[in-house]
Every structure is written in C-alpha cells, then in structure tokens.
Amino acid sequence: MMSSPEPPTPDPATRSLDQRLDAIARHPFRAKFHLRGRDLVTAELRGPSTMRWHARDLIAQRLAPAEPYKDGKQTPYRGHPVFVAQHATATCCRTCLQRWHAIPKGRELSRMERAYVVDVICRWIEREVAAGGAPARHG
C-alpha cells in the first residue's frame, strides 16, 4: 500500500510570510476576514497570476503614493479579493502598513516594498482559496 506524498515544504520566504500572516491573524479584527461568496469564487476562477496582477495595480494606485488619497479609508471591505486580503493582512492603509509591517508613512513605497505587500496579499489569498474560505489552520 502506497502512502500519500507529503505536501511540499514551503521555501524560506513562504515560511516567513506564513509566520507573519499567522501573527497578524491572531489579532481579533484581522482574524474576522475570510474570502467568501463572490470574492472567493473570483479568486478561484481568476487564479493566482490574475490576483497578483490586480494586487500590483491596486497597491500602485491606492497604497504606494507618499500621501494616498483618503488614506485610512481607501480600501473597501469587500468587492474584490485583494480588498479583503488587504484588511486581513494589515496592508489596507499606510498606518497599518507602518504598525504591522514597519514600512514608514510619508514617502512613496519602494519597488521592494510594493513587491513585499503584493506577496503578503497573494499568499493570504492562496491560503484562503486552499481552505475554501474557512479559517485556515497553519502550524
């Protein structure tokens, strides 16, 4: 009888993102967010590469500027998987980005910071899709 293969071990960067996401998810407000309904279906149907493209575009417009328009109120709570992910991962505004990710306010995000924010959002979406929108259990 063959045993089922072990799931692949995540690379160090993914493990680091998972640890950060697990820490953020312990905050009661952040823990409430999950992909459900239309947002979950959108993420499943569009797939990871489209979600990454949308995240890059939304971050460039709404979060990357030194003084984002309506900072603190620029991210809707639903209507796109990236918006839900931003609230779940504390990447929704510059105040949360500073508090949770140590990325300072008052200056434009660097290319590396934009890539990091997109990676955080996309990893959270991947985990939600894998869990079917249910609270995921990660070690």
Q: pTM for this one?
A: 0.86
Q: Tens place of pLDDT for every residue, the chain, 139 residues?
A: 444 454 455 677 778 899 999 999 999 999 999 999 999 999 999 999 999 999 999 999 999 999 999 999 999 998 999 999 999 999 999 999 999 999 999 999 999 999 999 999 999 999 999 998 666 555 4
* Proportion of the chain in helix, strand, coil states, percent, rounded to 5: 60, 0, 40
Judged on CB neighbours under 10 Å (0-12, 13-18, 19+), 78 is: middle
Residue 50 to residue 35: CA distance in whole angstroms: 16
